[in-house]
Amino acid sequence: MKKRFCPLLLFFILLTLLPTPAPVAAQDLAPTVKCVSQVIGASGFSERLDWPILALVGAGEKVGSLIRVREGQVRQGELFDVRRSTDYQRTIVGVVAAGANPRNFGGYNLVQKVKDSQRESGKFGDLISGEGEKLVNAHIWGILSLYVAGESIPNKLRALSWLVNSQNGDGGFSVETSLQGSDVDMTGMALMAFAALDQQADHPAVKKALDYLKSQLQSDGDFSSWNSSGPESIAQVIHGLVMLGIDPAGGEWRRPGGSLVTALQRYRRADGSYSRRPGGGMDFISTYQALAALGDVKRGMSIYTLLHRENAGFVDLPRGHSAFSDVSKLVSRQVLGGYHDGSFRPENPVKRAEFTKMIVAALDILPKTNKGTSRFADLPSSHWATPFILVAVDRGLVAGKGKNLFAPDDNISGAEVMTTLVRALGEGKKAVAKPGEAWYAGSLRVAREKGLLYSGFVATRPATRAQCAYSLMRFLEGR
């Protein structure tokens, strides 16, 4: 019998020949940034700025002029309903992203308003007065808005319990507790709230939510159309997964036809904007939501986590402390960290090994994975800092003390800090001491010229953690 060619087979063959979107690492986000900026700048633009501000900040853009416009809107009651909790919550997210103060914005202490809206049950009220137990999104964004503002979530266990109890039987979440049908984007947002409440992927409710989302994935890596809104839903799930430390482009989230990331990019248009359906016209909401999510993927950290780290602070480093801003930024960049008791100990002297790790992290250099044999007698291969010290020595950033010693546990002096930073700037050849000067005099001249010297600098005195934070931040700003 003569064989007939199956039309379905032909369809799949043709499908494999279609061009696939470039992976996010290779795809420039600049065209999408340009699209968002052009829409905002167009005459007659009248949409809320909070989410576009978040997306632009996540892509590294400055938004000072936009947040000033938003503050004027809030002050005048434009695009800001004084009764609705979610209007306060989304405004906090945009304000924090822009680096403004959500505790004094447009005539409101937005943070205190949200905190005061929490009910006895732990639920953040549907209305800012605290009334209403139905809106799941008001609870989720109550948690997330306080999280990005660096606040501890009040009545945390009750807030978590309410979120768990609002979960549907299939593991998903709905926008209201009265609705039984789960939807993808609300479930993605719930993952974000769980992460903000310090829950991991192994928490039973988180696992159920992840299983629900996996069940909705199609063979091309996208979600089924009847309970998702295209790129917006994908974006919220990407945020949730990244906050939980899960790669949205691999592992269990990859299907034969692609991953969540490639699925999102199928909505991308030639000009960098995004549509609500593949091949459709430009949709502004889809565009800035996609930009925010792809920023997470490219950075390897959620913008919400980044903002939290910048604003959470430490028990011994209040907002008014001179080092608060620099330390917060360096913590968010994973250059600095605190102690297990929640302290930063800004006045503690820094050890030579500790500062070496800091400069390696600031330069985003990978430590040596194969420690090998240390060239220093006082630095065994088992020492925690050996991988950082060896790569820093190889790069000419630091040197030993004497013939074969590194002295990793000695306090680092101000002169050594500046010498290391000057070398890291590639200015080592200019930093030559004149005859009769101290060995570090040339480095100090360059450091002073570059604005690296911290207040109270004394070359021979140990540098504190706060002082190192100041100099490291000026170094990063001047690169």
What was the pLDDT predicted at 27? 56
What was the pLDDT predicted at 227? 63
Q: What are the start and end residues of each CATH 1.50.10.20 domain in the chain? A: 26-308
Question: Using 50, 70 and 90 to split pLDDT, how confident is the model at 154?
Answer: very high
Residue 469: other Cβ atoms inside 10 A? 29
Q: Architecture of 26-308 per CATH?
A: Alpha/alpha barrel (1.50)
Tell me the mean pLDDT in the region 262-286. Answer: 95
Question: Using 50, 70 and 90 to split pLDDT, how confident is the model at 117?
Answer: very high
Listed range (11-20, 121-130, 186-195, 434-443) with the worst mean pLDDT: 11-20
What was the pLDDT predicted at 242? 97
Flag whether pLDDT at 5 surpasses 80: no
Flag whether pLDDT at 1 surpasses 70: no
Flag whether pLDDT at 286 surpasses 50: yes
Report the alpha-carbon distance of residue 325 to residue 319 in Å, rounded: 8
Mean pLDDT for the chain? Answer: 91
Listed range (70-74, 276-280, 351-355) with the worst mean pLDDT: 276-280
Tell me the mean pLDDT in the region 439-463. Answer: 97
What was the pLDDT predicted at 13? 36
Flag whether pLDDT at 12 surpasses 80: no
Flag whether pLDDT at 18 surpasses 50: no
Listed range (24-33, 98-107, 325-334, 449-458) with the worst mean pLDDT: 24-33
| Residues facing residue 258 across a β-bridge | 255
What was the pLDDT predicted at 313? 84
Share of the chain above pLDDT 90, in %: 81
What was the pLDDT predicted at 44? 87
Query: What is the value of pTM for the model shown?
Result: 0.79
Tell me the mean pLDDT in the region 272-286. Answer: 95
Tens-place pLDDT, residues 409-435: 999 999 999 999 999 999 999 999 999
What was the pLDDT predicted at 16? 36
What was the pLDDT predicted at 319? 82
What was the pLDDT predicted at 373? 62
Tens-place pLDDT, residues 205-260: 999 999 999 999 999 999 977 666 799 999 999 999 999 999 999 889 999 999 99
Structure tokens, 47? 């949409």
* N residues, the chain: 479
What was the pLDDT predicted at 17? 36
Tens-place pLDDT, residues 56-78: 999 989 999 999 999 999 999 99
Tell me the mean pLDDT in the region 186-201. Answer: 97
Flag whether pLDDT at 15 surpasses 60: no
What was the pLDDT predicted at 371? 57
